[in-house]
Amino acid sequence: MDIESLKKMVGTTRDGAMLRLMLARLLAADDALGEAEFHLEAAVAMNPDYAAAWKELGRIRNSASKFEAAAEAWSIGIQTARENGDKQAEKEMTVFLKRLQRQR
């Protein structure tokens, strides 16, 4: 799917956290980081237990040099992944957070 097709689904009955994550990834690949962040924030608001959205939100914020906000997203994502037993997501975000902390 392309960006415009996904945007048409926003606000409809097909809207959801997974749609917003997919849209955000495409927007980020198109260097529309602000819009991608907006949709990821919507995704985690819709489903706060969606570890993949927290991970992507941290990545987008880090790419936009919003380091404190990236650390916050990954910290929440790590806790979310831990609570849901998603060891892989927990491990990945822990590595991302440690790298960010070492850089600063």
What pLDDT, in 10s, does the model give residues 78-90? 999 999 999 999 9
**Hey, what CATH topology would domain 3-103 get?**
1.25.40
Which residues does 87 contact at the CB level (< 8 Å), separation at least 6? 81
Q: Give me the percent of the chain exceeding a pLDDT of 70.
A: 100
The full set of domain ranges for the chain reads: 3-103
The list of the chain residues with pLDDT below 50 reads: none
Q: How far apart are CA 76 and CA 33, in angstroms?
A: 20
